[in-house]
Structure formats: C-alpha cells, structure tokens
Chains A and B, each alone.
Chain A
Amino acid sequence: MLLAVLAGLIVSILYIPLGKYLRGRLAVLAALLPIGLFAYFASFIPTIQAGQHVHFHHPWVPSLGINLDFHLDGLSLLFSLLITGIGSLVFLYTASYLKGHRYLDKFYGYLCLFMASMLGVVLSDNVLLLFIFWELTSISSFFLIGFNNDDAASRKSSIIALCITMGGGFFLMVGLILMGHLSGNYSIQEMMSTNEYLKSHALYGLILLLVFIGAFTKSAQFPFHFWLPGAMRAPTPVSAYLHSATMVKAGIYLLARLQPVLGGTDYWMYPLIVVGGITMVYSAFHSIFRTDLKSILAYSTIAALGMLVFLIGIGTAESLLAASVFILVHALYKASLFLTAGVIDHETGTRDITQLSGLRKVLMPVSIAGILAALSSAGLPFTFGFIGKDLIYEATLHTAGILTAILTGLAVLTNILLLCAGFLAGIRPFTGKLPDRFHGIHLPHGLLWGAPLLLAVLGVVFGCAPFLVDGILFNPAAEAMYQSAIDSPLKIWHGFNLVLLLSGITLVVGTLLYVVRKPSAASLAAIERYNYLSPKHIIGQLARYARKISIYYTGTLHNGYLRVYLLRIIITTVLLFAIRLFMGGPIRLSIDHLSPISIYEVVVAAILIAAVYITVTASSRLTVVVATSVLGYCVCLLFVFYSAPDLAMTQFSIDTLTVVLFVLVLFRLPPFLNFANRRTRIRDGVVASAFGLMIALVAIQVLNQPIDTEVSQFYGDNAYTLAKGRNVVNVILVDFRGLDTMFEIVVLSIAAIGVVSLLKLRLKASEKE
C-alpha cells in the first residue's frame, strides 16, 4: 500500500533524470502507472464489499504523531478508483494532446506527483499525513496551472489558486492539530471513538470553522470559488483531471471522511447546507452566461461541488448515498466534457461557443462522447445522471419540515441550470451548421477521442445497469460516511412519484431554457457589470487595500531615520512599564528610609536642571557639549557626596574624554541644522519626560529595596586582614577589584589613542584644504 501511494512520487522523481527519453513515442508508457494502480485498487473490491477494511501502519515520525497509516474503506476505495481510473485515461489522452511538447516529461512528472499525493489524501488515516498530501496536491496543481507559462494571466491564476488553497490548507492544519490534541491522537479511526468529547468541547466551533475553511478553499466553495475558473488556464487534461474529477473533490472527501467524527450537529449541518446551497445556485447561474467552453464547465463544476457539500450537510443516509453516487456521476460526465472541449480546442483553436457549431460532421466520435455526457449531466433516463438526480431529490424530499421545500427547490433550480450548461458545453458545438473555416478539420488520433468516449459510454452503461457498481462502490462508501449499514440498491425505475415528476420538470424546463437562450457575448458582458459584487473582486480589493496599507506602513514607519526608530523603541518601553505599573496595583513610593536632603545636593540639582535646559534650547553644538559635560560633572559631584569616590573618578575621566572627543568630532561635522519644528519638539519633550519619569520611578523603587549590606561589610571587615590597607576605598580599587581598575585604565588608554588619531585626522584634513 505504501508503495502504491508513493509510486507516483518515485516515478515523478525518476522523471527528472530520465525524462528526456520519454518525450517522444514512449510517452504513452507513462499511463502504465495509473493503469497498474487501478488494477491494484480494483483487487480490493471483494474485500471491501465483504465489509472489511484494510489498514496499513508504518511508523514515520512517532515523536510528532505523524505515522504512515493508511486505511482503505469504501469511501477511500471509491476515490482511489476514481483517481487512478480517470488518471489512466488522462495520461493516455495527454500523450496525444501534448505530443511533441518540449516539457512533456515534466508534465508527466507533475501529474504523477499529483496522483500520488491525491491517493495519499484519500488513503491516509493519520490527519497530519493527510494534510501533508493535501498541500502536495496544491503544489502540483500550482505547477500544472502555470504550465503554459508564457502567459502572464496563467502565472497570475496559478499563484491565486495556490495562495487560496494553501492558505486554506494552513487553517486546516491548525484545525487538525487541535482535533489531535483534544482526542489524544491523530488517527481518524481513533477519533471516531472520541467524537462525543470533540463535539461537546468548547473549541468544537473553532475546529469546524478551520476545517470548513480548508475544505471550502480546496473545493472552490463560495466565497473562495473564484480560483477555479482562473485555474482553467491549465492544459485541458489538467482541468479534466485535477480541477473537476479529483483534486477539487479533496475538500468533499475531507468533509465526508470527517462526517462521522465531527458531523451530526447543527453547527456542522447548517453551514454546509448554506454554503453548498449558495455555491451551487450562484455558480450554476453563472455557468449559463459563459461563452468559453472551459468557463462553462468550470462554473458547472463549482455548482456540482456545491451540490456535494450540500448533500453531505444534510447528512442522512439517503443524502450520503446520493453524494457518493453523484461523485462518480459527475466525474464521468464532467471529465468527458472537458476532454471533448480539449479536442475541440486542439482542432479548431477556439473554445468560444458562439463560434463553434456543426462539428459533428467532422468530429463524429467526439460529438457522440459530448452528447452522451451532456445527456448524462441532464439526467435523462437510462443515463447514470438520471439515477444520481433521483437520489438527490429523494434526499432533499426526506428532510424534515420547512427544509424540504427549500432544499428541494434549490436542488431543482440548480439542476435546471446545470442541465442547460451541460447542453451548452456538450451539444451546442456539435449541432447546427458547420462554418466554412472548420471544413478542413480531421479526426485526431484515437487516444484523443477514445478517452472521452469511453467515459461517456460508461455513464450510459452504469445508467442502464447500476447493479454493476452499486453494491461494490456506493453502499460501502456511504457506509463509511454514515457509520452504519446502508443497503439500498440503485434502481433505474422508482415508479410514478414526486421524484419522477421533479426529474421531468427539470428536464423540460432546462431544455426549454437551452433552446430559448442563445449564448452571446452581450449577455456575458451584462452579467459582468455586476462583477464588483463578486467575491473575487471583493477579495481582490481587500488585497489591494492590504497592499496600500503595507506600502503606507513601510513608507512611514520604516523611513530610515534613526531618531524615529529610537522614538518608537522608547515609547514601547515606556508603555510596557506603564502597563506593568497599572497592572501591578498602587505604586508604593516611600521616602522615609532616604537620607535628608542637604544644601549641596540642592545646589547641584539646580545646576543640573539649568544644564538640561541649556542642552535642550541651545542653538550651537559647542554649547550643547559644554552643557552635557556640566551634567556629567554634576553626577560626579553627587557620587562624591555619597562617598563613592572611585565611581566619581571613573565618571570624571570618561566625561572629560567624551567632551574632548565631541569637540574634535564637531569640527568635522556639517553645519548645525535644526530639523525640528514645534510639534516634533513637543512630542520629543513628552516622550523624554515619560521615559525619565519611568527611570525615576524604577530608581526610587530600587532605593526602597532592602539593601544587602553584606558586601560593604565584607570589605570593611577584610580590608586590613586580607589586603593590609587601612583605606577601604583604596584597597577596593587596587586590590579587591584590581583587575577591574586595570581594564578601566586600558579602556581609557584606548580612548586616548582614539583622541590622538582624531587629532591627526583633523590635521590631515586641514592640510588638504
């Protein structure tokens, strides 16, 4: 199982060195991988049908709780077969579609990487492992969307798609980690046993929100849906494979998988119904206005995804069964429609449906594929779509109370619109008159039309004989979501009842709509006038605002001025202290323990204040330097008063040196410019006072602290006994802290050398002048 998941990864790595041999005729060989994997997963069908599950465990990073746990049950099997089955056809199709392309090998490499990660997503039992694969699908999708990389729009849409899906992925990661923390382990199967605890926990709502964001971004739900139409710039096989059949269903898969863990509450149900409902109606409505084939398909895909979310939200056995059937129904007809669109694009060079018509005359097998697929999407009897649609109506009709009418109404409306969209994409290009310029078209290589035709025919086969698949695929899949046995074989004929009536209404109204509405550029332009209301536009606008804020912020706050930076640091520090003081209760400042103030101190303080005033107001640098030196000397005096002559000495020499340095440097500075205006002065004054006040408060608090007198006691006691000196201060300076003194002298000497070199520098400069 591990090998099966990682095979794609290994092959994609092998493509780096070996790719150049596989660009030509051998390219078809790439399809062997998905075909082989399809056969491998198909071999599990009997086991799953018997109600057993397959579990594989390989330890990987046990310390972080990430293990290679794979779990295969009905749901995983359905998805695995879908991924490998459609993958096989897409691989074959690509060999012909991109024949002779320079980077065909790279393309296959990305496709293999994608397939491996998608298989990883649907098979992982460990949520973190699931997340890792989940992000890898986004990465491979990024490279595939950007594959036509000469196109600026293509680059842009690839990065939008990546940002949305990966950003959503990070939210999902947090949600999954939270789930893991609360339930004590990261295995989904184990989480099911603690689901009651999870659902009753206070963080349940948040977990749901995070998981929903992850699933909605990936599965292109409103309001994150807009990346999907943009992603259609990718080559058509990619659109068919990633952006309709598999990758965008990863979000659906996740919801289906977590349904037994998190589901069953109102918080789970209503958001899903609402978001799914809005998405399906909104984008189904949009799909019929498009004129670009792939755009139509993109919007109808979003609508189908919305439908799936909606069905999972309802959460009854019927709706889950309907969801699992609809996954396959949709994958079959939508992939087929995409691949036919690819052929049309490949052969005619346009995807504009206002220009395409009558192609059945030149592309007969393709037109059969397109029409069959369109009929299946319409839900005509004896197609698979019919069964899917019946199940959906049955599911909505069996909901309780007022919901029945609303939900059924929504489903009918969506289906009508989808039918019309399906006809536009699958029937319109082939009917009518063939324009002259398309006469020269020949039927392409068999691989190109064989793949969509096979998918479309399968849709009819399953539609006529649902018993081929129901027991082996859908019932186990729905059971995995519902966690109890479901046994309702799919039927082609339910008898005359409300469901049939609704199906009939859908068909008739949808066909009428198709006949009446002619797609035109004008109506597209009309609807695009409302684009400013669309989420894409709003989010784009938000991004622009963020950009503006960011530019403004960078320009004003990171303006490169040191003084501004310092100001901010001071303000922050003062704020921190203010908050601390505020939180720490009343400030106790007592001056009881302090010594009385003498006249000397008063005088020195007065000089200090005068010096500060001069420093702030002076207009010449020299005055400022002198005034600051006065400040320094005053501090020296204070040290002397409080019997700290050593400190006073140090301070004195340093101050002198500083003044000398200052004066020397002053000569070399440009003239004094005063940048400050009144406002900045006041601001600086306020900030400086606040900072000073803060330091003062701290200092006074320090004084209130009981002083540990052991140190001075020690020196007093031991000055004579240890150092044979009577003057304690001297002994401290030259003996106890002799090394300190020595280094102070060294520092002063170095500073003196600096002074000398400055003096010399000045001389040289004057010589030059």
Chain B
Amino acid sequence: MSAIITLSLLAILVLYLGLFKARRALLPVSLLGLVATVVLYGVQWGKTAEPLYSGMVLFDHFAVVFSVVCVILTILVLLLSKDYFDKSSPHVAEYYALLLFSLTGAVLVVSFHNLAMLFIGIEIMSVALYILAGIRKKDFASNEAALKYFLMGAYSTGFLLFGIALLYGASGSFDLAAIKEYVVSNPQGISPLFYAGILLLIVSLAFKLGAAPFHFWTPDVYDGSPILITIFMATVVKTAAIAGFLRLFYFCFIPLQDFWVPVLLVMTIITLFVGNLTAIVQQSVKRMLAYSSISHAGYLLFAIVAIGATSANSVLFYVTAYSLSTIIGFGSLILVKRATGSEHFEAFNGLAKKNPYLSLAIAIAMLSLAGIPLTAGFVGKFMMFSGVLADYQVLLVVLAVINAAMGIFYYFRVIVAMYFKPLDRDAIVVSGPYRVVFFLAALITLLLGVYPAWLTGLI
C-alpha cells in the first residue's frame, strides 16, 4: 500500500516541480521515487498479505510481482524519455506526472481485491493515457490517436461498469472473496445475470488487452502516438491488463470455466490470426510491432484459457519477455527514426556494420519476440504452450504454432535488413540512457532465456 501512496505523491511532486520550472530535477526525482517504490515492495515481500482498506486491495505475491514489473518497465521507459519530449514541448512535467499516474492505475489493476478498485485502476491508467497519446498537440496523428483511444476506451468502460453492476446484482458484493464465495456455494443456482456480467467483463478487459475482435484501436493508437507512449501502452498497460484479467478470473470464475473458456478460446484464435496476418504485410516497423502486439495478446490469453496454478507464472514470464523486447524494438525505432526520418524496414538496412552492439540488442529482441530458444521469449512461449497442452487444447496449440511460424517471417525481416542488406550509412549515436536500457533489456532477455528459474518460481 505504501507503494501506491508513494507513487501518487511522487506524481503530484513532479507536477509541482514542473510548476517551479525545475526541469532538470524531473527525471532524477521520478526515477528515485520509482526505485523507492520497488524497495518498498521488496520490504513487503514474504509477509502474509491481508486485504487492506475494507478489502479494497490485496498485496499478495501476485500483486507485488506484477507491480514491480510495471514499475521497472516504467523506469526503463523514463530512461528512454530523457531528451525525448524536451524538443517538442516546454511542459515536460505533465508528461512525467501523467506517466506516473497511469502507472499508479496499473498498480491498482494488478492488486485489486474489489471490483470498484478494478474500475478505478483501469480508469486512472487509461485517462492519463488518453492525454499522453495526444501529447504532441500539433501532430494530427497524435491527436487522432488520442481521440480514438478516448472514445473507444470510454465505450469499453461502459461495458466494464455494466458487467460489474450485473455481477453485483447476482452476488450482492464487489468483493472478490464474496463473489468467489457466491460462485462456489451456488454451483447450480448461478444467476443468468452473473453469466452476462462475465461476458461484459471479458469484452471490456479484452479491449484493454487489445485482443480481437476488440483490438481495432491498437494499431491506430500505437501508430499515431509518440513512440515512447506506445512503448508504455504496449508494455505496462498490457502487463496490467493481462494481470488484472487473470486475477479476476483466477480468483472468482474458475468454477464456471465451462462457460467462458470456449468464448476465450475462440477469441484467442482470432487474436492470433488477426495479429499475425496483418503484421506480415506491414512495411513500417512501428505498425509491424503494433500488429504483432495483438498476436502476443493472443499468446497471453493462453494462460487464461488453461487457467490454473501455473497461469500466473506463465503470464509473468511471457509478459516480461515480451515487454523487454518491445522496449528494445520501439526504443531502437526512436533512434532509427531520428537518424533516417523513416520507420520502414529499409531504415534498418546495414545497421549491423555501423552499430554492431545496437544491432545485436535488436536481434536479441526480435529473436525473443519470435520465440527462439535461449531467449526469454522462448521460455515464455514454452510455458504457455505446455500449460495449454496440459489441458489438451490441441487445436489451439496447432493453430498457435502456425502463427508462431508466421511470426518468424516478419521479425526476421528486421534482422535480415540489419545484417544482410548492404547500405552505406552513418553510425547512429546512441546516448547513455539508451545504452543502459538496451543493455539491461538484452541482458535480462538472455539471462532469463538461459536460466529461467530466476523468474519461474516467484508467484
């Protein structure tokens, strides 16, 4: 809980710093605050978790681990944002503050113990992002992204609220424990309202996660927003969304598996195919990553289709691997775009000759996204596949394999461009913070790929 308070105060503090024009202090203070948050979580680790504040939040291992993942990802994003926004606008404090608010929302989403908190968390997370997506006021693409994200998001919120209301109507409580109690104690007499509520929650959570057929906003918004915001959406928000999804379903809805698993199964398959089929033909790396993030949402849903004790670990691993690689992918795109002005595959041509280490990091990220052994992405895919196979969802896995094969094609296009295509180009200057982020992300990706046990036993 102290972590949430720290985060909120930090965001307000950053706003004040902006007010007093202390621009140089913004980044250090934000980073310091985030590190402090991680430390506070670390202190909490291992203690028995009790629902706090009339059962509003519960900081069990699940919540702590996913919160820490979100915070660390935000640290990486903030590191990348040094110098990024200074050029476009003098009001950078808002940017930091909004990111921190959004992060607070994400933390609430992964640690809620009451549906009201789920709603509030999602809204805090999203409202900040609606603004962030449009933070480049003069850029039409950015404006369009913000407006689309806002309208679609508001729409999905309606579903979320309606769903929560129906669950409340059936079970008489917002509290996860009470809802679980209702489900467990009425095996035959579950009200039809409850089922309708589950459906509506699936719709709204799938929307936040970017799973088909509620994914339509993702490519447009990811493509239109400033790349850094896209990174945040593709990593932190996705992490929070899948963790919240899993938390709700694992806590409350397991006994009703027969009802919602087929729905999610179909959605997962559609998501996989939509993401990959569209990613194949993209000429822009940014759009490719955006579409492929849809397919990753599909792999993440595997854990919910085959829900069980190991789901949390699989999601944790997969989402960590995916986020780290995504940070490298989009982060390098910032640099490449700055140097060449283009986001296309061709912009990566011949990069390996001039920037061997940057290229190595990108290559590791792409290998990880494609799920190649010795990277974290492989272990993630492996855990997902074996989890689903333990449930004998053979059809799903076979279709997923076809998709994984498609994925190889477009991820390797980047590698081919970097390593095999000759082009005389100037070396890209990689500033200090970027080096740190790329180095850390690539290193962790490899370490987790070689020795996954560090992460698999956490939850």
User: Cβ of A550 and Cβ of B277 under 8 Å apart?
Assistant: yes
Contact A705 B170, beta carbon cutoff 8 Å? yes
Interface contact A181-B195, CB-CB below 8 Å: no
Interface pair B401/A580, CB less than 8 Å apart: no
Interface residues of A in 59-74 (CB under 8 A from B): 60-64
A174 and B385 form a contact (CB under 8 A):
yes
Given contact pairs A146-B416, A159-B409, A584-B195, A554 touches B278 in the complex (Cβ within 8 A)? yes
| Residues of A close to B156: CB separation below 8 A | 569
Contact present for A159 and B416 (CB under 8 Å): yes
Per the bound structure, the CA–CA distance linking A523 and B203 in Å amounts to 61
Q: Which of B31-39, B68-76, B147-155, B237-245 contacts A (4 or more CB under 8 A)?
A: B147-155
Q: Digitize B357-376: 1 where CB-to-A-CB distance is under 8 Å, 0 elsewhere.
A: 00000000001000111100
B281 and A155 within 8 A (CB): no
The interface residues of chain B lying within 8 Å CB-to-CB of A133 are 373
The dominant DSSP class at the B interface is helix
> Does A349 lie at the interface of the complex (its beta carbon under 8 Å from any beta carbon of B)?
no
| Closest chain B CB from A20 CB (angstroms) | 12
B223 to chain A, nearest CB (A): 10
Interface segment out of the listed B2-10, B59-67, B116-124, B419-427: B419-427
Q: Are A565 and B152 touching (Cβ within 8 A)?
A: yes
**Interface band, chain B:** 35 or more
Known: A547-B281, A572-B213, A708-B172. A701 touches B420 (CB 8 A): no
Which of B166, B202, B408 contacts A163, CB < 8 Å? B408
Q: Which residues of B contact A564 (CB under 8 A)?
A: 216
Q: Say which residue of A62, A63, A568 sits within 8 Å of B213 (CB atoms).
A: A568
Q: Mark B122-148, 1 if CB is under 8 A from A, else 0.
A: 000000000000000000000000001
Q: Which residue of B lies closest to A707 (CB)?
A: B169
Alpha-carbon distance A63/B220, docked complex (angstroms): 40
Q: Shortest Cβ distance from B282 into chain A, in angstroms?
A: 8
Q: Are A171 and B196 neighbours in the complex by a CB distance under 8 Å? A: no
Q: Which of B192, B374, B390 contacts A584 (CB 8 A)?
A: B192
Q: Closest residue of chain B to A710, judged by CB? A: B172
Inter-subunit contact A181/B389 (CB<8 Å): yes
Query: Beyond A547-B281, A698-B166, is A150–B422 a contact (Cβ under 8 Å)?
Result: yes
Contact A558 to B216, CB < 8 A, known contacts A150-B422, A162-B412:
yes
B196 and A560 contacting across the interface, CB-CB below 8 Å = no
Pick out which of these stretches binds chain A: B97-105, B334-342, B436-444, B449-457.
Answer: B449-457
In the complex, which residues of chain A have a beta carbon less than 8 angstroms from the beta carbon of B402? 167
Selected contact of A562 from candidates B152, B169, B219, B367, CB within 8 Å: B152
A 348-369 binary contact with B (CB < 8 Å = 1; else 0): 0000000000000000000000
- Please report the C-alpha to C-alpha distance between residue A203 and residue B369 in the assembled complex, in whole angstroms: 29
What is the bound-complex CA distance between A558 and B220, given in angstroms?
8
Q: Are B169 and A155 in contact (CB under 8 A)?
A: no
Q: Which residue of B lies closest to A117 (CB)?
A: B373
Complex interface: chain A residues within 8 A of B220 (CB): 558, 560
A residues near B196, Cβ cutoff 8 Å: 577, 580, 698, 701
B172 touching A181, Cβ below 8 Å: no
Chain A's closest residue to B263 (CB) is A576
User: Size range of the interface on A?
Assistant: 35 or more
Nearest-neighbour CB distance to chain A for B401, whole angstroms, equals 4
Distance of A553 Cα from B374 Cα, bound (Å): 34
Q: Are B213 and A569 in contact (CB under 8 A)?
A: yes
- List of A residues within 8 angstroms of B152 by Cβ: 562, 565-566
Which residues of B are found within 8 Å of A584, using beta-carbon distances?
192, 195
B150-174 residues with Cβ-Cβ distance < 8 A to A are 151-152, 155-156, 159, 166, 169-170, 172
Cβ of B84 under 8 Å from chain A: no
Q: Is B405 part of the contact surface with A, judged by Cβ < 8 Å?
A: yes
Question: B199 near A: Cβ within 8 Å?
Answer: yes
A37-68 contact mask (Cβ, 8 Å, vs B): 1 or 0: 00000000000000000000000111110000
Across-interface contacts of B453 in A (CB, < 8 A) = 61-63
B199 touching A580, Cβ below 8 Å: yes
- Chain B residues with CB under 8 A of A572: 203, 213-214
Q: Which residue of B lies closest to A160 (CB)?
A: B409
Query: How many angstroms from the CA of A333 to the CA of B149 in the assembled complex?
Result: 64
Q: Give the 7 A-B CB pairs with smallest separation, nearest first.
A: A167-B405, A149-B420, A565-B216, A132-B373, A550-B277, A170-B401, A146-B420
Given contacts A64-B379, A569-B156, 13 further A-B contacts (CB under 8 A): A61-B456, A139-B367, A142-B412, A155-B420, A167-B405, A178-B394, A550-B277, A572-B203, A576-B199, A576-B203, A577-B196, A580-B199, A705-B191
Which residues of A are at the interface with B, using a C-beta cutoff of 8 A? 60-64, 128, 131-133, 135-136, 139, 142-143, 146, 149-150, 154-155, 158-159, 162-163, 166-167, 170-171, 173-174, 177-178, 180-181, 203, 206, 210, 546-547, 549-551, 553-554, 557-558, 560, 562, 564-566, 568-569, 572-573, 576-577, 580, 584, 698, 701-702, 705, 708
Name 26 A/B residue pairs within 8 A (Cβ), A-sorted. A61-B456, A64-B382, A131-B373, A146-B416, A159-B413, A162-B408, A163-B412, A167-B404, A167-B408, A170-B405, A177-B386, A178-B389, A181-B386, A181-B390, A206-B394, A550-B277, A550-B278, A558-B216, A562-B148, A569-B156, A569-B203, A576-B263, A577-B196, A705-B170, A705-B193, A708-B172
